[in-house]
A = this chain, B = another copy of it.
Amino acid sequence: MTERLTQVTAADVDDLARGAAILGTGGGGDPYIGKLMAEEAIKEFGPVTLVDPGDLPEEAAVFPVAMMGAPTVMVEKLPSAGQFTGTLSALAQYVGQAPTHVACMEVGGINSTIPLATAARTQLPLMDGDFMGRAFPELQMVTATMYGLPCTPMSITDDKGNAGIFATVSNLWAEKLARVATVEMGASSIISLYQMSGANAARSAVRGSLTKCVQLGRALRAARAAHENPVDAVVQILGGRVIHTGKVTDVLRRTTAGFARGEAQIEGTGANKGATLQLQFQNENIIASREGQVLSTAPDLLICLEADTGEPITTESMRFGHRIALVAAPCDERWHSPAGIELVGPRYFGYDLDPVRWNEADLG
């Protein structure tokens, strides 16, 4: 499947959610919950039309929508259906313009399926793309920031019916204010932000993300049915490589200030026997190092797959005993520009490291 999808039906949601969880690099929340919400919305309102960013009318009003907060909380506190439309309406009222298209900010379990559910409920087409090409933990970490596009005005809603708007002097200020509001709202919220024209979306978006999600999900399913190696099928589509296989022997995880931060120890098996890999995450997987050698870092993708099934493992579901194939894969090339590295390189996440690309380390 190399051509673009033109619509997402209820039958596609499962593949899309699984593929999104893979590209979510450990973050993006529980794919199961997002899947249910999107399926329910498509069953009620019909399939969702996908539009390539390059095919958007220049004057289109593109409203990205996302969930903000700690994935560990999202598992227990579902958004209400009215929150999706409410978030768009609040922003539309403030900017005085109705949305013509819905979009994803990131790919990642719940943040691909929530825009899908929103598009279904509002009967609007969904952009086949996003602004990360993966998942990242903070609002300003989007390709749009590199194009100088403002995050705000943004809207924020909670499951109780509270709504807010922020119009800030920088995307970092939007992150700060929306983050404290999200924490106060119970550690998760639905937001609409980076509202932009079709022309700006075409310039800044990572194209074809949703098609790629479905492609990943389908390939995984096909490999399993054919008793082929599902991890290989994923690696082939991503253009990456397996950098470690092993068993999770320890996971430290804490939910602070609206983030799930932590690290996992993955004791090597097979070719990696005797060497333990340390995986550090902040909602998403950020740094993989083994025996003092950094193997790969953000912005490239670090993806934990269940070794046997190829099933993606989120940072909040990882637990002792999981047998894992850790995949490193290239991100959108724009993230490797100086502006990109400043936004999402290891130093921003608090590690005194230069970025290491997915294929840079000598695996021995």
Chain A residues close to B by CB (< 8 Å): 90, 93-94, 160-169, 173, 176-177, 180-181, 183-185
Contacts and interface: CB of A to CB of B under 8 A. Distances in A.
20 contacts: A90-B167, A93-B94, A160-B169, A161-B169, A162-B166, A162-B167, A162-B168, A162-B177, A163-B166, A163-B168, A164-B164, A164-B165, A164-B166, A164-B177, A165-B165, A176-B184, A177-B181, A180-B180, A180-B181, A180-B183
Given A160-B173, A177-B181, A180-B181, 7 more contacts: A93-B94, A94-B94, A161-B169, A162-B166, A164-B166, A176-B184, A180-B183
A180 B173 CA distance: 14
A314 to B, nearest CB: 27
A165 B157 CA distance: 11
B184 A180 contact: yes
Contacts of A183: 180
A193 to B, nearest CB: 13
Contacts of A161: 168-169
A303 B37 CA distance: 56
Q: Which residue, A160, A165, A180, has most C-beta atoms of chain B within 10 A?
A: A165
Nearest to A169: B161
Contacts of A90: 167
A288 B286 CA distance: 55
List of 10 A-B pairs having minimum Cβ-Cβ separation, nearest first: A165-B165, A161-B169, A180-B180, A162-B168, A163-B167, A180-B184, A164-B166, A162-B173, A176-B184, A160-B169
